[in-house]
């Protein structure tokens, strides 16, 4: 017999299609989803799931080509974002058919961020489409919206994987899907782990700070987190010689760095920065409220705006959810 599942779906742009695969696997294994909370793309997938429209939404999403996606991205010259997203939300609204959160078969919470009051907002009543639109407003990318006098943006800014809203409903198992796991290539962002303590997380942050400081020449050799720091070039590990060299006019030292890759776009830098921030917030919040099962989707599985890759991300979500549930015996 399956378990009563509280499902938590995180933020991460087009990677959020993996949530569809996660929902499919959970239901196929005979579990009952008794509550859903979602942020950003997690709010979108969670909303259509709670309203009983996931199959219709999936059929539409998997039909999108890259050209279709560009047609849907109504570009904007003002209003706080590059994209208005009204065409996308219009299609989602059609699929939802005017569904209200309080009338959904499954209790649902969408999380957004109130910029003026600097706090997260939980949508638990009203039109599902409105809650989704507020939650997906990625800062500077998708325009904010005003609901109830509040200026709202993406919930991932404060709560990338919103476990807290699900605690009000009795469940046997909390399954969280995070889209902020480490990169599969290049420099890793450490994946969120529900078993790490707050002190361990703080030590990781101190270590990361020390590494960054070492690279720019401001970290001391015996500073916090120094033990595991990687060392490169004349700065790290040679503090005395650097001090002597930089203090002498006879021995000028040229800056020791390389320019960023020429093919690195501004949007990519923003996306990686947002993902890095979200990964850190997720680790802190999960330390005090860990899920029973954590499904971790790599943050470089696809780019934030790759909404034409639904089938691929759904398959990845299925695979990773099956692994996580097998490991948990669920």
Active-site positions read 40, 154
Q: Hey, what are 208's tokens?
A: 């990361």
Looking at the DSSP bridge assignments, the partners of residue 119 are: 114
Whole-angstrom distance, CA of residue 60 vs CA of residue 71: 15
Residue with tokens 């002190």: 199
Three-state DSSP at 86 gives: helix
Rg of the chain taking only CA atoms, in angstroms: 22
How many Cβ atoms are within 10 Å of 1's Cβ, its own excluded?
5
Three-state DSSP at 248 gives: coil
Of the candidates 281, 261, 275, the one whose C-alpha atom is nearest the C-alpha of residue 303 is 275
Whole-angstrom distance, CA of residue 77 vs CA of residue 53: 33
Q: Which residues of 194-204 are buried (b: 16+ CB within 10 A; e: fewer)?
A: bebeeeebeeb
Cβ–Cβ < 8 Å for 317, 17: yes
């Amino acid at each position: 017999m399956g378990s009563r599942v509280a499902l938590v779906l995180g933020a991460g742009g087009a990677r959020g299609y993996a949530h569809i695969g996660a929902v499919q696997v959970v239901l196929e294994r005979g579990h009952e989803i008794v509550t859903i909370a979602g942020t950003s793309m997690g709010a979108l997938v969670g909303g259509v799931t709670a309203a009983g429209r996931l199959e219709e939404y999936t059929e539409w999403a998997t039909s999108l080509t890259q050209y279709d996606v560009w047609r849907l991205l109504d570009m904007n010259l003002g209003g706080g974002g590059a994209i208005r997203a009204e065409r996308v939300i219009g299609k989602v609204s059609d699929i939802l058919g005017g569904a209200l959160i309080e009338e959904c078969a499954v209790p649902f919470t969408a999380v957004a961020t109130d910029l003026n009051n600097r706090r997260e907002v939980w949508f638990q009543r009203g039109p599902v489409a409105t809650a989704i639109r507020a939650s997906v407003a990625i800062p500077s990318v998708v325009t904010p919206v005003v609901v109830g006098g509040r200026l709202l943006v993406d919930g991932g800014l404060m709560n990338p994987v919103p476990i807290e809203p699900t605690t009000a409903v009795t469940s046997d198992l909390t399954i969280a899907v995070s889209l902020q796991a480490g990169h599969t290539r290049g420099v890793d962002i450490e994946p969120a782990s529900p078993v790490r303590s707050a002190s361990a997380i703080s030590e990781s942050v101190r270590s990361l700070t020390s590494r960054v400081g070492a690279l720019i020449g401001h970290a001391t050799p015996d500073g916090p987190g120094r033990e595991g720091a990687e060392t490169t070039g004349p700065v790290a590990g040679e503090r005395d010689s650097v001090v002597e060299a930089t203090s002498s006019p006879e021995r000028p030292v040229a800056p020791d760095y390389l320019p960023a890759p020429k093919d690195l776009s501004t949007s990519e830098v923003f996306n990686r920065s947002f993902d890095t921030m979200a990964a850190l917030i997720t680790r802190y919040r999960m330390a005090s409220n860990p899920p029973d099962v954590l499904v971790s989707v790599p943050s470089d599985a696809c780019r934030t705006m790759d909404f034409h890759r639904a089938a691929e991300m759904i398959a990845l979500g299925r695979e990773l959810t099956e692994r996580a549930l097998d490991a948990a015996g669920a």
